[in-house]
A and B are shown apart, each in its own frame.
Chain A
Amino acid sequence: AQSVAQPEDQVNVAEGNPLTVKCTYSVSGNPYLFWYVQYPNRGLQFLLKYITGDNLVKGSYGFEAEFNKSQTSFHLKKPSALVSDSALYFCAVLDSGTYKYIFGTGTRLKVLA
């Protein structure tokens, strides 16, 4: 069965510092991986995806993610965090057999001024 794990419930980072939000996956077959962000009282917003190709994927709002096949990871990164980046971040994998997205449990990012 496909799954993703987000090992950290919360990540705190100072404004201007680089941030990393971790995600590991378990899939049979090719992994189709996504990151979404959720601001309070809003729906999830798509940030970026990895389907195939370059391991470094660039997305919205200056975010990027690195696909690492050997470590089965897809960590979300940003070189310089903003207070406005504070939100709930979800990693997801698409089960290509059933077309179901399986979401991680979410990581709350708090960027401190």
Chain B
Amino acid sequence: DTAVSQTPKYLVTQMGNDKSIKCEQNLGHDTMYWYKQDSKKFLKIMFSYNNKELIINETVPNRFSPKSPDKAHLNLHINSLELGDSAVYFCASSQEMGVSPLHFGNGTRLTVT
């Protein structure tokens, strides 16, 4: 029973395409996040949702749009993919915003060619 699951695990696509990554958590957590990890393993927050409400919206291009249909799901849609979007994208959840630890999915490795 995976606590935070994201699909697909690997995503290879061409520049200009539109793609989505899905995330689901079965922990009953209120807060979900998207993080981007670059090739140097640097990890940066992109978005966070608390009870389906957007709380954190970092300075990412408008081509990235999160969507939270319910508390257990947070999807990430990316339009007009660029080479620089290649990275590993991690979904995470926490019981609440604040000092609750993050629970991460296993990541989606996006390669844009």
In this complex, how many residues of chain A approach chain B with their Cβ under 8 Å: the count is 23
Q: Which residue on chain A has the smallest CB distance to residue B42?
A: A105
Q: A41-B107, A43-B105, A43-B106 are in contact. Are A94 and B99 (CB under 8 A)?
A: yes
Contact pick for B102, options A32, A44, A98, A106, CB 8 Å:
A44
Q: How far is the CB of A104 from the nearest CB of chain B, in Å?
A: 9
In the bound complex, residues from chain A placing their C-beta under 8 Å from that of B87 are: none
| Residue interface mask B91-107, A partner, CB < 8 A = 1 | 01000011101111111
Task: Flag whether B34 is at the interface (Cβ < 8 A).
Answer: no
Asked if residues A34 and B107 are in contact (CB atoms below 8 Å), the reply is no
Asked if residues B41 and A43 are in contact (CB atoms below 8 Å), the reply is no
Residues of A29-54 at the interface with B, using a CB-CB cut-off of 8 Å, are: 32, 34, 36, 38, 41-46, 49, 51
| Residue interface mask B56-95, A partner, CB < 8 A = 1 | 1000000000000000000000000000000000101000
Q: How far is the CB of B3 from the nearest CB of chain A, in Å?
A: 10
30 A-B contact pairs sorted by A residue (CB < 8 Å): A38-B41, A41-B106, A41-B107, A42-B107, A43-B4, A43-B90, A43-B92, A43-B107, A44-B43, A44-B102, A45-B104, A46-B101, A46-B102, A49-B99, A49-B101, A90-B43, A94-B98, A94-B99, A99-B48, A99-B55, A99-B97, A100-B45, A100-B56, A101-B102, A103-B43, A103-B44, A105-B40, A105-B41, A105-B42, A106-B42
Residues of B bordering A, CB below 8 Å: 4, 40-45, 48, 55-56, 90, 92, 97-99, 101-107
